[in-house]
Amino acid sequence: MPFLVYQTMVTDSVAGSGTFPTFVSVSLIDLLGIIALFVVILGSLWKYFQWRRSSPPNFFGSTRRTLHMSALVRAFFSELWNRVFLQKDIINNDRVRRFTHLTMFWGFLGLGITSALDYAFNQQGNYIPIFGSNLSGIRFLGNFAGVVMMIGATIAVVRLVTVHKYRTNRNLGDIWFTCLLFIAGLSGFITEYCGEIAYAANPSALPAAAYSISFSASLLISIPYGFHLASIALIFLTAPISFFMHALHVPSMRYMERLGMLVSMKRRSGQKSELLRSKESAMLDQVQEIYEQKKPE
Protein backbone atom coordinates (compact mmCIF):
# COMPACT_ATOMS: atom_id res chain seq x y z
CA MET A 1 0.00 0.00 0.00
CA PRO A 2 2.70 2.61 0.83
CA PHE A 3 4.36 1.82 -2.52
CA LEU A 4 1.09 2.52 -4.38
CA VAL A 5 0.67 5.83 -2.55
CA TYR A 6 4.26 6.75 -3.45
CA GLN A 7 3.67 5.95 -7.11
CA THR A 8 0.49 8.06 -7.12
CA MET A 9 2.36 11.02 -5.60
CA VAL A 10 5.06 10.79 -8.28
CA THR A 11 2.49 10.60 -11.08
CA ASP A 12 0.35 13.49 -9.77
CA SER A 13 3.24 15.83 -8.86
CA VAL A 14 3.22 19.26 -10.45
CA ALA A 15 5.78 20.48 -12.98
CA GLY A 16 9.16 20.96 -11.39
CA SER A 17 8.04 19.47 -8.08
CA GLY A 18 10.32 17.72 -5.66
CA THR A 19 13.39 18.74 -7.63
CA PHE A 20 16.00 21.48 -7.58
CA PRO A 21 13.57 24.29 -8.59
CA THR A 22 12.10 23.93 -5.09
CA PHE A 23 15.19 25.88 -3.95
CA VAL A 24 16.09 28.16 -6.89
CA SER A 25 13.52 28.88 -9.59
CA VAL A 26 14.32 27.97 -13.18
CA SER A 27 13.69 31.58 -14.25
CA LEU A 28 16.36 32.82 -11.82
CA ILE A 29 18.83 30.22 -13.07
CA ASP A 30 18.16 31.37 -16.65
CA LEU A 31 18.75 35.00 -15.69
CA LEU A 32 22.01 34.20 -13.91
CA GLY A 33 23.07 32.08 -16.89
CA ILE A 34 22.54 35.03 -19.23
CA ILE A 35 24.61 37.28 -16.98
CA ALA A 36 27.42 34.69 -16.85
CA LEU A 37 27.32 34.31 -20.65
CA PHE A 38 27.53 38.09 -21.02
CA VAL A 39 30.60 38.15 -18.75
CA VAL A 40 32.28 35.39 -20.79
CA ILE A 41 31.56 37.24 -24.06
CA LEU A 42 33.00 40.49 -22.70
CA GLY A 43 36.04 38.61 -21.39
CA SER A 44 36.53 36.95 -24.77
CA LEU A 45 36.40 40.31 -26.55
CA TRP A 46 38.86 41.78 -24.05
CA LYS A 47 41.28 38.91 -24.59
CA TYR A 48 40.80 39.15 -28.36
CA PHE A 49 41.80 42.81 -28.50
CA GLN A 50 44.76 42.09 -26.24
CA TRP A 51 45.78 39.31 -28.58
CA ARG A 52 45.41 41.53 -31.65
CA ARG A 53 47.56 44.25 -30.07
CA SER A 54 50.32 41.74 -29.37
CA SER A 55 50.20 40.23 -32.87
CA PRO A 56 52.21 41.63 -35.81
CA PRO A 57 50.20 44.56 -37.28
CA ASN A 58 50.52 43.58 -40.95
CA PHE A 59 50.35 39.83 -40.54
CA PHE A 60 46.64 39.28 -41.21
CA GLY A 61 46.56 41.64 -44.18
CA SER A 62 49.56 39.89 -45.69
CA THR A 63 47.99 36.49 -45.04
CA ARG A 64 44.71 37.41 -46.74
CA ARG A 65 46.56 38.72 -49.76
CA THR A 66 48.65 35.56 -50.10
CA LEU A 67 46.18 32.78 -49.27
CA HIS A 68 42.73 32.10 -50.69
CA MET A 69 39.75 32.18 -48.35
CA SER A 70 39.35 28.42 -48.81
CA ALA A 71 42.87 27.88 -47.42
CA LEU A 72 42.07 30.06 -44.40
CA VAL A 73 38.89 28.09 -43.71
CA ARG A 74 40.60 24.71 -44.14
CA ALA A 75 43.40 25.75 -41.81
CA PHE A 76 40.87 26.91 -39.22
CA PHE A 77 38.93 23.64 -39.15
CA SER A 78 42.14 21.61 -39.31
CA GLU A 79 43.49 23.39 -36.24
CA LEU A 80 40.11 23.12 -34.51
CA TRP A 81 39.95 19.37 -35.04
CA ASN A 82 43.60 18.43 -34.49
CA ARG A 83 44.80 20.96 -31.92
CA VAL A 84 41.56 21.57 -29.97
CA PHE A 85 39.42 18.43 -30.18
CA LEU A 86 42.29 15.91 -30.41
CA GLN A 87 45.03 18.16 -28.96
CA LYS A 88 47.67 16.76 -31.29
CA ASP A 89 51.20 18.17 -31.29
CA ILE A 90 50.49 20.25 -28.17
CA ILE A 91 51.63 18.02 -25.30
CA ASN A 92 53.96 15.34 -26.65
CA ASN A 93 56.31 14.72 -23.73
CA ASP A 94 53.72 14.08 -20.99
CA ARG A 95 51.01 11.53 -21.72
CA VAL A 96 49.36 12.00 -18.35
CA ARG A 97 49.06 15.73 -18.91
CA ARG A 98 47.62 15.23 -22.40
CA PHE A 99 45.10 12.70 -21.06
CA THR A 100 44.16 15.18 -18.31
CA HIS A 101 43.62 17.95 -20.85
CA LEU A 102 41.50 15.73 -23.08
CA THR A 103 39.25 14.45 -20.30
CA MET A 104 38.72 17.89 -18.79
CA PHE A 105 37.95 19.40 -22.20
CA TRP A 106 35.58 16.69 -23.42
CA GLY A 107 33.91 16.35 -20.04
CA PHE A 108 33.30 20.09 -19.82
CA LEU A 109 32.02 20.14 -23.40
CA GLY A 110 29.70 17.19 -22.69
CA LEU A 111 28.27 18.96 -19.64
CA GLY A 112 27.65 22.05 -21.76
CA ILE A 113 25.77 19.96 -24.32
CA THR A 114 23.79 18.32 -21.50
CA SER A 115 22.78 21.73 -20.14
CA ALA A 116 21.66 22.85 -23.59
CA LEU A 117 19.57 19.68 -24.10
CA ASP A 118 18.03 20.01 -20.66
CA TYR A 119 17.12 23.63 -21.37
CA ALA A 120 15.54 22.67 -24.69
CA PHE A 121 13.54 19.61 -23.56
CA ASN A 122 13.08 20.15 -19.82
CA GLN A 123 12.46 23.86 -19.35
CA GLN A 124 10.33 23.27 -16.23
CA GLY A 125 13.22 21.58 -14.46
CA ASN A 126 11.22 18.43 -13.87
CA TYR A 127 12.75 15.44 -12.14
CA ILE A 128 14.35 13.07 -14.65
CA PRO A 129 14.73 9.47 -13.48
CA ILE A 130 17.93 7.62 -14.28
CA PHE A 131 16.04 4.96 -16.23
CA GLY A 132 12.62 4.65 -17.87
CA SER A 133 12.05 8.20 -19.11
CA ASN A 134 12.28 9.69 -22.59
CA LEU A 135 14.73 12.21 -21.13
CA SER A 136 16.84 9.71 -19.20
CA GLY A 137 19.41 9.88 -22.00
CA ILE A 138 20.10 13.52 -21.08
CA ARG A 139 20.80 12.56 -17.51
CA PHE A 140 23.00 9.66 -18.61
CA LEU A 141 25.02 11.99 -20.86
CA GLY A 142 25.43 14.45 -17.99
CA ASN A 143 26.66 11.76 -15.62
CA PHE A 144 29.03 10.29 -18.19
CA ALA A 145 30.47 13.70 -19.10
CA GLY A 146 30.76 14.54 -15.40
CA VAL A 147 32.75 11.38 -14.70
CA VAL A 148 35.07 12.09 -17.64
CA MET A 149 35.65 15.66 -16.47
CA MET A 150 36.20 14.57 -12.87
CA ILE A 151 38.86 12.08 -13.96
CA GLY A 152 40.88 14.86 -15.55
CA ALA A 153 40.19 17.41 -12.81
CA THR A 154 41.15 14.93 -10.10
CA ILE A 155 44.44 14.09 -11.80
CA ALA A 156 45.18 17.80 -12.24
CA VAL A 157 44.46 18.61 -8.57
CA VAL A 158 46.53 15.64 -7.35
CA ARG A 159 49.46 16.76 -9.49
CA LEU A 160 49.12 20.30 -8.20
CA VAL A 161 49.43 19.00 -4.65
CA THR A 162 52.06 16.30 -5.09
CA VAL A 163 54.26 17.32 -8.06
CA HIS A 164 56.41 20.37 -7.32
CA LYS A 165 57.46 20.94 -10.93
CA TYR A 166 53.85 20.82 -12.10
CA ARG A 167 52.77 23.25 -9.37
CA THR A 168 55.51 25.83 -9.90
CA ASN A 169 54.70 26.11 -13.61
CA ARG A 170 51.10 27.18 -12.90
CA ASN A 171 49.85 30.69 -12.24
CA LEU A 172 47.01 31.67 -9.92
CA GLY A 173 44.42 31.72 -12.72
CA ASP A 174 45.34 28.16 -13.71
CA ILE A 175 45.13 26.82 -10.15
CA TRP A 176 41.89 28.74 -9.49
CA PHE A 177 40.14 27.34 -12.57
CA THR A 178 41.36 23.77 -12.02
CA CYS A 179 40.27 23.68 -8.38
CA LEU A 180 36.90 25.28 -9.16
CA LEU A 181 36.28 22.73 -11.90
CA PHE A 182 37.01 19.91 -9.47
CA ILE A 183 34.75 21.44 -6.79
CA ALA A 184 31.93 21.99 -9.28
CA GLY A 185 32.11 18.39 -10.48
CA LEU A 186 32.29 16.88 -7.01
CA SER A 187 29.48 19.05 -5.65
CA GLY A 188 27.42 18.17 -8.73
CA PHE A 189 27.50 14.46 -7.94
CA ILE A 190 26.80 15.09 -4.25
CA THR A 191 23.87 17.29 -5.28
CA GLU A 192 22.50 14.58 -7.54
CA TYR A 193 22.68 11.97 -4.80
CA CYS A 194 21.04 14.23 -2.20
CA GLY A 195 18.43 15.27 -4.75
CA GLU A 196 17.39 11.66 -5.21
CA ILE A 197 16.86 11.32 -1.45
CA ALA A 198 14.92 14.60 -1.24
CA TYR A 199 12.70 13.67 -4.18
CA ALA A 200 11.89 10.25 -2.70
CA ALA A 201 10.97 11.92 0.60
CA ASN A 202 8.74 14.61 -0.90
CA PRO A 203 8.14 14.32 -4.66
CA SER A 204 5.21 16.76 -4.65
CA ALA A 205 7.08 19.71 -3.11
CA LEU A 206 6.13 22.95 -4.83
CA PRO A 207 8.77 24.84 -6.85
CA ALA A 208 9.95 28.28 -5.80
CA ALA A 209 8.22 31.34 -7.21
CA ALA A 210 9.62 32.90 -10.39
CA TYR A 211 12.97 34.70 -9.99
CA SER A 212 13.23 33.70 -6.35
CA ILE A 213 14.98 31.46 -3.84
CA SER A 214 12.93 29.37 -1.43
CA PHE A 215 14.60 28.81 1.92
CA SER A 216 11.88 26.34 2.87
CA ALA A 217 13.36 23.80 0.44
CA SER A 218 14.85 20.60 1.79
CA LEU A 219 18.36 21.01 3.16
CA LEU A 220 19.32 17.96 1.08
CA ILE A 221 18.77 20.19 -1.96
CA SER A 222 19.54 23.72 -0.76
CA ILE A 223 22.96 23.05 0.79
CA PRO A 224 24.70 20.94 -1.90
CA TYR A 225 22.86 22.60 -4.80
CA GLY A 226 23.65 26.08 -3.48
CA PHE A 227 27.32 25.15 -3.17
CA HIS A 228 27.26 23.68 -6.68
CA LEU A 229 25.64 26.80 -8.18
CA ALA A 230 28.15 29.05 -6.41
CA SER A 231 31.11 27.11 -7.81
CA ILE A 232 29.70 27.19 -11.35
CA ALA A 233 28.99 30.92 -11.04
CA LEU A 234 32.59 31.56 -9.97
CA ILE A 235 33.90 29.57 -12.95
CA PHE A 236 32.09 31.80 -15.45
CA LEU A 237 32.21 35.13 -13.60
CA THR A 238 35.99 34.88 -13.17
CA ALA A 239 36.52 33.48 -16.68
CA PRO A 240 38.15 36.66 -18.08
CA ILE A 241 40.97 36.49 -15.51
CA SER A 242 41.28 32.72 -15.07
CA PHE A 243 42.62 29.81 -17.10
CA PHE A 244 39.18 29.54 -18.74
CA MET A 245 40.38 31.81 -21.56
CA HIS A 246 43.28 29.43 -22.20
CA ALA A 247 40.87 27.41 -24.33
CA LEU A 248 40.52 30.40 -26.67
CA HIS A 249 43.99 31.90 -26.51
CA VAL A 250 46.08 28.82 -27.28
CA PRO A 251 44.09 27.67 -30.37
CA SER A 252 44.22 31.24 -31.70
CA MET A 253 48.00 31.30 -31.42
CA ARG A 254 48.26 27.87 -33.02
CA TYR A 255 46.07 29.07 -35.88
CA MET A 256 48.35 32.06 -36.44
CA GLU A 257 51.39 29.78 -36.48
CA ARG A 258 49.70 27.56 -39.05
CA LEU A 259 48.85 30.53 -41.27
CA GLY A 260 52.41 31.81 -40.99
CA MET A 261 53.77 28.46 -42.16
CA LEU A 262 51.28 28.31 -45.08
CA VAL A 263 52.24 31.81 -46.23
CA SER A 264 55.92 30.93 -45.99
CA MET A 265 55.39 27.80 -48.09
CA LYS A 266 53.32 29.74 -50.61
CA ARG A 267 56.03 32.32 -51.05
CA ARG A 268 58.77 29.68 -50.92
CA SER A 269 60.59 31.84 -48.40
CA GLY A 270 62.45 29.05 -46.64
CA GLN A 271 61.84 27.24 -43.40
CA LYS A 272 61.17 30.29 -41.24
CA SER A 273 57.47 30.92 -40.63
CA GLU A 274 56.02 34.14 -41.97
CA LEU A 275 54.58 34.79 -38.53
CA LEU A 276 58.09 34.77 -37.07
CA ARG A 277 59.28 37.10 -39.81
CA SER A 278 56.43 39.50 -39.06
CA LYS A 279 57.20 39.41 -35.34
CA GLU A 280 60.87 40.14 -35.95
CA SER A 281 59.97 42.99 -38.28
CA ALA A 282 57.55 44.44 -35.71
CA MET A 283 60.19 44.22 -32.98
CA LEU A 284 62.75 45.99 -35.19
CA ASP A 285 60.23 48.73 -35.96
CA GLN A 286 59.58 49.22 -32.25
CA VAL A 287 63.29 49.42 -31.45
CA GLN A 288 63.80 51.93 -34.26
CA GLU A 289 60.85 54.03 -33.08
CA ILE A 290 62.19 54.11 -29.52
CA TYR A 291 65.65 55.01 -30.78
CA GLU A 292 64.37 57.84 -32.99
CA GLN A 293 62.22 59.27 -30.20
CA LYS A 294 65.14 59.31 -27.77
CA LYS A 295 66.27 62.87 -27.21
CA PRO A 296 69.98 63.59 -27.85
CA GLU A 297 71.95 64.54 -24.77
pLDDT grade for 292, boundaries at 50, 70 and 90: very low
pLDDT at site 290: 43
C-alpha to C-alpha distance for 19 and 141, rounded to whole angstroms: 19
Which residues does residue 213 pair with via DSSP β-bridges, in sequence order? Answer: 24
Residue 83 scores a pLDDT above 50: yes
Portion of the chain with pLDDT greater than 90, in percent: 35
Residue 205 scores a pLDDT above 80: yes
The answer to which of 228-232, 247-251, 279-283 has the lowest mean pLDDT is 279-283
Residue 91 scores a pLDDT above 70: no
Residue 296 scores a pLDDT above 80: no
Number of domains in the chain: 1
pLDDT, tens digit (0-9, with 9 covering 90-100), for 180-191: 999 999 999 999
Residue 139 vs residue 292, higher pLDDT: 139
- The mean pLDDT value for 200-226 works out to 91
Residue 250 structural domain: 2-293
pLDDT grade for 76, boundaries at 50, 70 and 90: confident
Q: HSE of 282 in the Cβ direction (CA atoms, 13 Å)?
A: 13
C-alpha to C-alpha distance for 139 and 191, rounded to whole angstroms: 13
Residue 114 scores a pLDDT above 80: yes
pLDDT at site 69: 78
φ and ψ of 88, to 5 deg: -75, 150
255-273 exposure pattern, b = at least 16 Cβ within 10 A, e = fewer: bbbbbbbbbbeeeeeeeeb
pLDDT at site 195: 92
Mean per-residue pLDDT over the chain, rounded: 79
Residue 273 scores a pLDDT above 70: no
Residue 217 scores a pLDDT above 80: yes
Single-letter amino acid, residue 241 = I
- The mean pLDDT value for 67-79 works out to 79
pTM here? 0.76
Portion of the chain with pLDDT greater than 70, in percent: 78
- The mean pLDDT value for 92-97 works out to 74
